[in-house]
A and B are shown apart, each in its own frame.
Chain A
Amino acid sequence: GAVVSQHPSRVICKSGTSVKIECRSLDFQATTMFWYRQFPKQSLMLMATSNEGSKATYEQGVEKDKFLINHASLTLSTLTVTSAHPEDSSFYICSASGMADEQFFGPGTRLTVL
């Protein structure tokens, strides 16, 4: 299957700082990318859907000004957690889809906010 990478794999930051997470499709062009958040022992929760070149669509309850998503190219989407707080600590996972019917998931990014 196609490969999706995320960087960094884990990050620790101080409260109040901003953190950027990258999601890349390595061997295909991703017209749509999705961002999920997963708390310990819980399921994945969709945060937003981003299409290349257009604004992201956020799920209900997800603050668009706090979780900035940019999908500037067909192989890269970024999620920036602005003014992070301890409650933002979570596992962030992206997925990407192109022309095929399948979504491919990244390995996830563990964010810890102190």
Chain B
Amino acid sequence: LAKTTQPISMDSYEGQEVNITCSHNNIATNDYITWYQQFPSQGPRFIIQGYKTKVTNEVASLFIPADRKSSTLSLPRVSLSDTAVYYCLVGPKAAGNKLTFGGGTRVLVKP
């Protein structure tokens, strides 16, 4: 499984856009990029998944350059409730495959 590198923490303010970049230099051809959000004492929650270019859903956007060696999760107009740890994972899409969590990025949204 490709190893990922993310910033340990980021601070932001309500209403701002938060961009978290994840490096995955050894991503394989059949690997997808998936982001999860985790609040304290809760299980991770799926945010978004992509393979290339740009993916957008109701909560976030995921930008993936052509070489796919990195990806950026963009959270538009964050609120206090977006304070959480965000994990970037890289691996095959098949549901039965195990997931390897890296260190994650602790995002703190301030008022």
Contact = CB atoms under 8 A, between A and B. Distances in A.
A45 B101 CA distance: 7
Contacts of A46: 98-101
Interface string A40-62: 00011110010100000000000
A46 B103 CA distance: 13
Contact of B95 (A100, A107, A110): A100
Interface residues on A, range: 20 to 34
A43 B43 contact: no
A105 B101 contact: no
Interface residues on B, range: 10 to 19
Contacts of A45: 101
The B contact surface, by secondary structure, is loop
Nearest to B102: A43
A103 B43 contact: no
Interface string A67-105: 000000000000000000000000101010111111111
Contact of A102 (B43, B46, B101): B46
14 contacts: A4-B43, A34-B98, A43-B101, A43-B102, A43-B103, A44-B101, A51-B96, A95-B43, A98-B95, A101-B94, A102-B95, A103-B46, A103-B95, A110-B41
Interface of B: 36, 41-46, 87, 93-96, 98-104
The A contact surface, by secondary structure, is strand
B94 A93 contact: no
B43 A32 contact: no
Nearest to A43: B101
B102 A103 contact: no
B104 A99 contact: no
A4 B44 CA distance: 12
Given A43-B101, A110-B41, A31 B96 contact: yes
Contacts of A6: 43
B95 A32 contact: yes
Given A43-B102, A46-B100, A105 B45 contact: yes
Contacts of B102: 43
